[in-house]
Amino acid sequence: MSNHANGLKPVFPENAASKDYAASLDAADPLAAFRHKFIVPSKANIASNKLAKPNLSSDPCIYFCGNSLGIQPKAASRYLEAQLNTWSSIGVNGHFTKIEDSPLEPWQLLADQAASSMCKLVGAAPEEVTAMATLTANLHMLMASFYKPTATKHKILLDWKAFPSDHYAIESHIGWHELDPEQSMVLIGPDDGEYKISTEKILSYIDQHAEEAAMLLLPGIQYYTGQLFDIKTITQYAQSKGLVVGWDLAHAYANVELKLHDWNVDFAAWCTYKYGNAGPGAMGGLFVHEKHGSVDYSQGEDSPQFRHRLTGWYGGDRSVRFKMDNKFKPTPGAGGFQLSNPSAIDLACLCASLSVFDETSMAELRRKSVQLTGYLEYLLLKDTTDDTRPFRIITPSDPEERGAQLSLLLKPGLLQKVASRLQEAAIVCDKREPGVVRVAPAPLYNTFSEVWLFVKQFRAALSD
């Protein structure tokens, strides 16, 4: 296989469809050891759907559902145990006391510990990132600060098939300002019969609505199609037309390389339980560009000037947080958007997952991901034509326009049969009505041999 470089799709040799070739890719994989840092569910447990302790020596399933929930890092139990030991041994003093040999900072510093690792996954300074709440809550918090409609500029541009939480959040903020969603929500969709939304079309919508638009809020990666948007170009253009720009990075975080600071993104939010592997319902993260997070004391220590936001005790600067004088002095940066004392248990899980990412880089992960997804696409399309194939890949073929996920749109009536066959084969991936199977090989723990086995089972399911 030729090396991936400059955004070019990997090219595979004639023998690439063989099991031996897939095994050779695994043997040459520089990230192969990371798989052993995770607990891959066993085939027996997947088949039984019963609560069971993981059998690390058993046959692992093929888990291609990291776009919905990543599997458990082995570090999670150690980090959770450390947090529980701190709580049981010193109680409230755990907020301020560093325990010897613990991988965790005192609870008051845990959000900062998470941010110092998480910022590297999104291309930001530590001060521009914070760990708090969950994705939808964070979108609401951010929109409360950044959506400032006027009589003339009130529209929000969003994705035609936005994840329901994004749609609901946008709709509710428009309603909060006593505006009509029918007039203030602009949905950007693909051309008829297509699923990809071109950058040119998004820019044309920005042009069309620039005079009345206040905000653009798009997903970094569209959850249904798997399309990765050109965040840099879209952000720059929308801002040049006077729009505030935010991104929902639920499917982009820990999946693709991001440079939120350099791209001048105004704000962003993400969950950490998909490619981030921090656990179901794990604590989310948010980004606020440094230009929006500054605190100005030029008018006096008691009169800080800062971007208006929903405020809470935990967003107050740590140096004065315990003065209890009810004079809010925000932590500079994204930390000033925090509200409440965060769950140390949730932060322990998040820090555990981030400890794995600290051992590599998004550039390395992305390099393998492009190869994995490219190999999946190659095998799916090999020896077939558009006319004979009972499915269509609706994810863009260009590696620069997708992450780890390929969305396979099946012909009508096939979804339940294929999903059942994959379940019987202990292959875990996601289905979305009415006919899409979302397949997401994650570079931290998935292998090329698993891709080969998946395609074999998938083709068999289609032919039954």
Q: Which residues are annotated as a binding site?
A: 135-136, 163-166, 248, 251, 273, 313, 341
Secondary structure (3-state) at 402: strand
Residue 295 to residue 288: CA distance in whole angstroms: 13
d(CA 98, CA 106): 5
- The residues, ordered by sequence, that sit 6+ positions from 460 with a Cβ below 8 Å of its Cβ are 421
Are the CB atoms for 286 and 129 separated by under 8 Å?
yes
Question: Is 403:225 a contact under the CB 8 Å cutoff?
Answer: no
**Cα(117)–Cα(285) distance, integer angstroms:** 11
Q: Positive or negative CA dihedral for 254, 406, 375, 65?
A: positive
Residue pair 52/45 in contact (Cβ under 8 Å)? The answer is yes
Question: Which residue positions form the known binding site for pyridoxal 5'-phosphate?
Answer: 135-136, 163-166, 248, 251, 273, 313, 341
Three-state SS at 238: helix
Kindly give the residue spans of alpha helices, DSSP state H, lying in 29-134: 43-48, 75-90, 107-122
Q: Is the dihedral of CA 331, 336, 342, 348 positive or negative?
A: negative
Of residues 139, 84, 109, 83, the one with CA closest to residue 321: 109
Residues 6+ apart with CB under 8 A from 411: 390, 391, 435
CA distance 208 to 271: 32
Residue length of the chain:
464
Residues 6+ positions from 97 with CB-CB distance below 8 Å: 86, 90, 106
Q: Distance (Å, rounded) from C-alpha 23 to C-alpha 401?
A: 27
Produce one character per residue of 357-389: b if its CB has 16 or more CB atoms within 10 Å, e if not: beeeebeebbbbbbbbbbbbbbbbeeeeeeeee
Which segments of 123-198 does DSSP mark as H helices, in order? 135-146, 164-176, 181-184
Q: Are 357 and 149 in contact (CB under 8 A)?
A: no
CA distance 452 to 208: 46
